[in-house]
Amino acid sequence: MVEVEQLKMIDKQVMQWLDRVRRTLPSMIEDMDTQTKANRFDLVTNVDKAIEQSFEQMLTMHFPNHQLYGEEAHHNTEKLREGFTWVIDPIDGTANLVKQQDDFCLILALFHNGQPVLSYIDDFSRQKRFQAIKGQGVYLNDVPLSPPSERPLKESLISFNNKVLNDETMHDLLEVSFGYRLIGACGLDSAKVFTGQFGAHIHTNAKPWDIGAQFLFAEMLGLKMTNFHQEPIDFIHGGPFIISNAGCYDETLKILLQKGGYQKL
């Protein structure tokens, strides 16, 4: 068990690092250079790489015994459940960064012996930072964030990638829910569930760094976060993921599963 005082000390360093990233980001974006990875939609920029490297340097300086599990490097997963492990997606929504210079974020989480203890989602362009400290609270730009009130699916906006759900399932979800919205960055789509603006966000093949921060936010805000069989998700492996307001969780999952609703892409 980690003491809250220790978490607050780590949090202070991380908040300063996030402030530095925000200050340097505009010039990094000006010098942005984009490459493709597996296919033409799989983008990475020097901004993604530079942010992750900068975080690694901060860890080496202040917390040398902390492990790092990042999207861009370090995929040795053997000892990640031992001691302190950070999971980082330096830029979530890289396609949005490249195409719009908007609607991207950083996702960052600290686990201690496999349990989430600190979490951050920084929506850089809107200057909105979500922060969770286990045993202390959840904040949006330093203001406490309360759990959203429960809402049924018929009153909720829901979010999912429309390339991966079967047409019939998608149609059923659109029919029953209040409506559909997608930002295109798993961290920001999830954060809309934290605030109650969205009822649920579904990602049928989430990578660990897409959802690292969401574990603690879900726990502290009374949200559901599971795979599609209502089971916990392993933070090292990721996989099918739903984060949902408790009021629309059962119904959303029922529709998602009833016609074999999605392809694993």
Interface contacts to Ca ion, rule CB under 5 A: 71, 89, 91-92, 210
Parallel, antiparallel, or unpaired: how do β-strands 239-244 and 200-206 relate?
A: antiparallel
In angstroms, give the least distance from the CB of 24 to ligand NAP.
Answer: 20
Toward ligand NAP, which CB reaches closer, 42 or 82? 42
Binding segment for ligand NAP (CB under 6 A), chosen from 75-83, 190-198, 199-207, 245-253, is 199-207
The continuous run of DSSP H or E covering 88 comes out as strand 84-92
CA distance 42 to 21: 23
Toward ligand NAP, which CB reaches closer, 186 or 220? 186
The pair of structure tokens assigned to 68 is 């790092």
**Would you tell me the crossing angle of helices 186-194 and 214-221 to the nearest 10 degrees?**
10
Distance of CA 83 to the CA centre of its chain: 22
In angstroms, give the least distance from the CB of 203 to ligand NAP.
Answer: 4
Determine if residue 167 is labeled as part of a ligand binding site: no
Toward ligand NAP, which CB reaches closer, 13 or 205? 205
CB 134 within 8 A of CB 175: no
Looking at residues 18 to 57 of the shown chain, list those that interact with ligand NAP (rule: CB under 6 A): 41
Determine if residue 219 is labeled as part of a ligand binding site: no
Binding segment for ligand NAP (CB under 6 A), chosen from 11-19, 21-29, 116-124, 200-208, is 200-208
CA distance 204 to 77: 22
93, 50, 40, 261: CA torsion to nearest 10: -30
Q: Does 185 bind ligand NAP (CB under 6 A)?
A: yes
Q: Does 244 bind ligand NAP (CB under 6 A)?
A: no
Rg (CA), the chain: 18
Question: Which residues contact ligand NAP (rule: CB under 6 A)?
Answer: 41, 89, 92-95, 161, 163-164, 184-186, 203-205, 207, 210, 265
